């Protein structure tokens, strides 16, 4: 297990570039299976979730070449094998092989996906969507066998606008005859990124990024070419770091509209920044005001930034309230934040109180999940003395070149085995 060692309280300046979005890339790779040709995905982030996806794709006989930050994926000789649990459990996104393989082969066998333990995270909406398209789902313990004689396009209403279910049903719908309409679809940028890849392959899709998406099934797709969008959660994480430690820290490669809820919230609590095209320059704010944050589906405040901003609010003067409405168990990081000197308290299952400002002190902590780990990383950067974060592999699942990026802007940080 690797450890992250941070010597805190260093001012951060210079420039940092945001990588491609984890949650787009992890859907784009399985989507490449739909074209029985060579597709190209540019701006792929260097994170461990991608390494595991590549392992699954190579097991399925995809030929994958790396060229700088691009992946060239040849899906012409894919073999539809069952995906073993030891691979599917490594990440959440393994569920996208359900939609992609179902579309291409009308059959898929895979175990329940892994991912951060932040709530129950069922996949019932995905499965219901496949069934509505005509598939049969058999579940034996943790194993899912999904089969169909044929898939037929249909109007499907999602009980919740799930990101994963929207993308998975969109992928399956490519293999259906006729038109599928997804009502109450998720509107996150990841949906638009995947739709643009499929459109590039020749699929007709209308409405991606809105609550109603229309997909026309298509056989014989062209090769697809796509750029992974910049990671809005990595962007937000560096923006929060800049608000705590920046001295004209410049963060390049952001899409303002994707981080707007965070930016408006920061403006509200006194953080000043300057946006210039796809860059933002931000400095330390010495007078952070407390606030109320409620996580919501896009374009609301992203749940994936809830844990990072909790650390920022430990430095606000007064009481902040954080309401987590997407996951049932996303406050695990507060145990270690309190160990470092924060004053947080879970009021009810989904409400957290943060009273600040509290100076933080470096100590030994444990990353329980990706964004919880990011919140401890930020805490370590502002804490006095040395912070050691155990189990830092979970952070590396979502933040590429973490040590290099932070070191280049002046942080003292080291990853050791
Ligand atoms: N849900 C169901 N049934 C389903 C699907 C979802 O009840 O069939 C519930 C979930 O349990 C959760 C809520 O709906 O309470 C939202 O889940 P959603 O399906 O939207 O999330 P996801 O697809 O599992 C993706 C990201 C998450 C991110 C969420 C929300 C990937 C691989 N993961 O998860 O990213 O939090 O969307 O934006 O794309 C992260 O990056 O740290 C992370 C957890």
pLDDT in tens, 177-192: 999 999 999 999 999 9
Q: What is the 398 CA–ligand 1 centroid distance (Å)? A: 15
Q: Name the DSSP class of 376.
A: H
Atom in ligand 1 nearest the alpha carbon of residue 326: 15
Question: Residue 90 has what pLDDT?
Answer: 87
Ligand 1 binding pocket (C-beta < 6 A) is 22-23, 26, 92-93, 116, 119-126, 160, 162-165, 186, 188, 233, 303-304, 326-327, 370-371, 398
Sign of CA dihedral 407, 397, 293, 192: positive
pLDDT over 90 at 129, yes or no? yes
Distance 369 CA to ligand 1 centre (A): 14
Label residue 117 by pLDDT band (50, 70, 90): confident
pLDDT tens digits, one per residue of 253-280: 999 999 999 999 999 999 999 999 999 9
Sign of the four-CA dihedral 105, 107, 111, 116: positive
Q: What is the pLDDT of residues 328-360, one digit of tens each?
A: 999 999 999 999 999 999 999 899 999 999 999
Radius of gyration (C-alpha) of the chain in whole angstroms: 21
Burial profile 132-154: b = 16 or more Cβ within 10 angstroms, e = fewer: bbbbebeeeeebbebebeebebb
Shortest-distance Cα residue to atom 2 of ligand 1: 122
SS (H, E, C) 2-22: CEEEEECCCCECCEEECCECH
- Region at 207 (left for phi over 0; alpha for psi -120 to 50; beta for the rest): left
Can you give the pLDDT at residue 181? 98
Q: How confident is the model at residue 297 (pLDDT cuts 50, 70, 90)?
A: very high
Active site (annotated) includes residue 116: yes
pTM above 0.95, yes or no: yes
- How many angstroms separate the CA atoms of 369 and 34, rounded? 31
């Amino acid at each position: 297990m690797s450890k992250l060692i941070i010597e805190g309280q260093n001012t951060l300046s210079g420039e940092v570039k945001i990588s491609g979005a984890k949650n787009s890339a992890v859907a784009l790779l399985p989507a490449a299976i739909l074209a029985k040709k060579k597709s190209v995905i540019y701006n792929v982030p260097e994170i461990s979730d991608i390494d595991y996806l590549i392992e699954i794709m190579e097991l399925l006989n995809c030929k994958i070449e790396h060229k700088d930050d691009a992946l060239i994926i040849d899906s012409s000789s894919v073999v539809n094998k069952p995906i073993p649990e030891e691979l599917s459990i490594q990440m959440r996104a393994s569920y996208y092989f359900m939609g992609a393989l179902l579309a291409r082969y009308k059959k898929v066998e895979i175990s329940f996906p892994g991912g951060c333990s932040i709530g129950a995270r069922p996949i019932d909406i995905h499965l219901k969507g496949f069934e509505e398209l005509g598939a049969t789902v058999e579940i034996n313990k943790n194993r899912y066998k999904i089969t169909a004689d044929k898939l037929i396009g249909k109007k499907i209403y999602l009980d919740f606008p799930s990101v994963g279910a929207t993308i998975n049903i969109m992928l399956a719908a490519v293999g259906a005859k006729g038109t599928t309409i997804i009502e109450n679809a998720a509107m996150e940028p990841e949906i638009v990124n995947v739709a643009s890849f499929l459109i590039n392959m020749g699929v007709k899709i209308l409405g991606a990024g809105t609550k109603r998406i229309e997909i026309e099934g298509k056989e014989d797709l062209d090769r697809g070419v796509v750029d992974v969008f910049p990671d809005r959660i990595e962007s937000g994480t560096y923006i929060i770091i800049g608000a705590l430690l920046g001295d004209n820290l410049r963060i390049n490669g952001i899409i303002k509209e994707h981080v707007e809820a965070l930016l408006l919230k920061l403006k509200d609590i006194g953080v000043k920044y300057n946006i210039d095209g796809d860059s933002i320059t931000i400095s330390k704010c010495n007078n952070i005001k407390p606030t109320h944050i409620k996580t919501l589906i896009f374009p609301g405040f992203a749940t994936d930034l809830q844990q990072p901003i909790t650390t920022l609010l430990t430095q606000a003067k007064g009481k902040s309230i954080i309401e987590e409405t997407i996951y049932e168990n996303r406050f695990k990081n507060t145990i270690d934040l309190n160990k470092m000197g924060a004053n947080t308290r879970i009021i009810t299952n989904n409400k957290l109180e943060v009273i600040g400002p509290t100076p933080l002190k470096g100590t030994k902590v444990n990353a329980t999940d990706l964004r919880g780990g990011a919140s401890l990383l930020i805490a370590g950067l502002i804490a006095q003395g040395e912070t050691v974060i155990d189990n830092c592999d979970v952070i590396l699942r979502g933040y590429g070149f973490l040590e290099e990026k932070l070191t280049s802007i002046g942080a003292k940080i080291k990853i050791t085995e």
